[in-house]
Amino acid sequence: MAKQLKPETLCVQAGWTPTKGEPRVLPIYQSTTFKYDTSEQMARLFDLEESGYFYTRLQNPTNDAVAAKIAALEGGVAGMLTSSGQAANFYAIFNICQAGDHFVCSSAIYGGTFNLFGVTMKKLGIDVTFVSPDASEEELSAAFRPETKALFGETVSNPSLEVLDIEKFARVAHAHGVPLIVDNTFPTPINCRPFEWGADIVTHSTTKYMDGHAVSVGGCVVDSGNFDWEAHAGKFPGLCTPDESYHGLTYTKAFGKMAYITKATAQLMRDLGSIQSPMNAFLLNLGLETLHLRVPRHCANAQRVAEYLAAHPSEVAWVNYCGLPGNKYYDLAQKYMPHGSCGVIAFGLKGGRERSIKFMDALKFVAIVTHVADARSCVLHPASHTHRQMTDEQLLEAGVRPDLIRLSVGIESADDIIDDIEQALES
């Protein structure tokens, strides 16, 4: 393709290019297995000498088409769908870290990721150091050790809405010879493409805006193909030395820019099996086809709601939305996401925790649900819901105030959303 297609076109068209007589719409390959004529043909697939489908745990055409669409949107070389965002973040790290290794991570991340990294992965012998996303390059560097293998952050953190200085994080990661992995769930590639700012791997919970309708849990890992694993071969033996479970194949030698994602698929997905079902991938693709229409609407509505909340200081103690001038992250958001960040707002009410809970109960169509970033507006109180296993101290470290209400602004009428908020504030 001579000219790079724009994101709007990629949302609709990328990943599935049917030829003569094939379905116009991406089909659901609801099949665990794929047929070959000879034993020799199948053997070449198992040796990774030829690419082709043989078992859906490893690869499935529906999933691959959707992963290719997301990779195209992010500007990466390849992607891999996973069963959830949690699986995506686990695979992204575990693909290059093993027992005895360590990675550095922004403390402003999703609560589920915080537990995965801080508790569960520690049990596997992989250690993590959390650092503030606002840390200076010197402070970030100080967290690195000889066995550090990655740096991780969220473009816009859920639910604290802190904006990652991607260029700063990429500089520090690269100075230490490790990749920067960015969870880009909230902005989506419509608003931010972290690879353009130096990130090496991007992850997504596709459960959120990408699906957009709250119908299927899923995740994705995308490889930029830019990180030079061979230049730091000593740190990444899994990629740069022979894999005994694949007849001594070396991923960097056999697959070049596709080494990281091929290893994730051929080794981790083979062994751990957190695939996305083809049915869910099909639903995700329907969501992706309108991502470029929905995301700007989420942002426009959220901007209006944030401005409304900020204009009611007698009720509202504070509002955190990086689209508001004066927000701590306004300048960073303008730099990395000039067309808008996401539809999620965090705020606290005068009267603290108790008032917040009363307010949420009084809302009519803005529902209390453990979800975020779909078409329907919803609220959540992290301290009593998603983050309830965390102490107040841990909450504050993760940028989550105990009175924080997370409001995910949907794509309904902004007037109606504001009316619902107003009546709940008055009640």
Helix/strand/coil percent split, the chain, to 5: 40, 15, 45
Q: What are phi and psi of 268, to 5 degrees?
A: -70, -45
Q: How far is the CB of 112 from ligand PLP (least distance, A)?
A: 5
Site of tokens 């508790």: 119
Q: How far is the CB of 419 from ligand PLP (least distance, A)?
A: 28
Show the CA angle centred on residue 57, arms to residues 55 and 58, nearest 5°.
75
Q: How far is the CB of 416 from ligand PLP (least distance, A)?
A: 25
Q: What does the DSSP 8-state code read for residue 266?
A: I
For residue 214 the two structure tokens come to: 């709250």
Nearer to ligand PLP, 94 or 236 (CB): 94
Q: State whether the Cα torsion 348-349-353-356 is positive or negative.
A: negative
Cβ proximity of 184 and 163 under 8 Å: no
Nearer to ligand PLP, 86 or 356 (CB): 86
Q: How far is the CB of 206 from ligand PLP (least distance, A)?
A: 7
Q: How far is the CB of 192 from ligand PLP (least distance, A)?
A: 13
Nearer to ligand PLP, 219 or 410 (CB): 219
Q: How far is the CB of 88 from ligand PLP (least distance, A)?
A: 7
Nearer to ligand PLP, 240 or 375 (CB): 375
Q: How far is the CB of 218 from ligand PLP (least distance, A)?
A: 6
Nearer to ligand PLP, 112 or 296 (CB): 112
**What is the DSSP annotation of 385-415?**
TTTTTS-HHHHHHTT--TT-EEEE--SS-HH
Nearer to ligand PLP, 60 or 84 (CB): 84
Nearer to ligand PLP, 112 or 177 (CB): 112
The site for ligand PLP (CB under 6 A) is made up of: 84-86, 89, 110, 112-113, 154, 158, 183, 185, 205, 207-208, 217, 219
**What is the DSSP annotation of 148-206?**
EEEEEEESB-TTT-PBP-HHHHHHHHHHTT--EEEE-TTTHHHH--GGGGT-SEEEEET
